[in-house]
Amino acid sequence: MADTLTTQIIQDGGRTAIIRGNVAVGNTDVVTSVLVDVSSLSNDPVTGQACIAATVQAVTYASKGVAVTLAFDATTDVPIFTLPADWTEQYDFTDFGIPNPGTFGAAGNTGDIVATTISPAAGDSYSFILTVSKVYASA
């Protein structure tokens, strides 16, 4: 059985998006799930430009049995940090944010934020709330 990802966009404003999600691990396969799909976020309300990347502002995380690596999606994913197994934590980066390196030319960057499971087992799960600042295409 494959992993099951459910997400909900709590807020999709002009500058900030808040995404909540739950992942139920289906088996021992290492899986990469898209947590923030920037193409699904709204355009800039002033210029109409598309959202092309997201800067991480805050992460609330809880896991049962599985560790997860958050990364910016690219040809070779760019790790943000690893969230430990059997752990609950809140990380606040609002003073500086963690910018998506794709805005600086990382190869194959999609602008998305992904999570990759580490040593998963059936029945493991993790939940998250990600707060991001949206980056828009230039006019």
The per-residue pLDDT for 102 is: 65
Which pTM was predicted? 0.91
d(CA 114, CA 17): 15
d(CA 17, CA 118): 27
Residue 10 identity (one-letter amino acid): I
Query: Residue-wise pLDDT tens for the chain (139 aa)?
Result: 678 999 999 999 999 999 999 999 988 888 899 999 999 999 999 999 999 999 999 999 999 999 999 999 988 889 999 999 999 999 999 999 998 876 666 678 888 999 999 999 999 999 999 999 999 988 6
d(CA 24, CA 97): 28
Residue 71 identity (one-letter amino acid): A
Please name each of the domains of the chain with its CATH number. 4-133 (2.60.120)
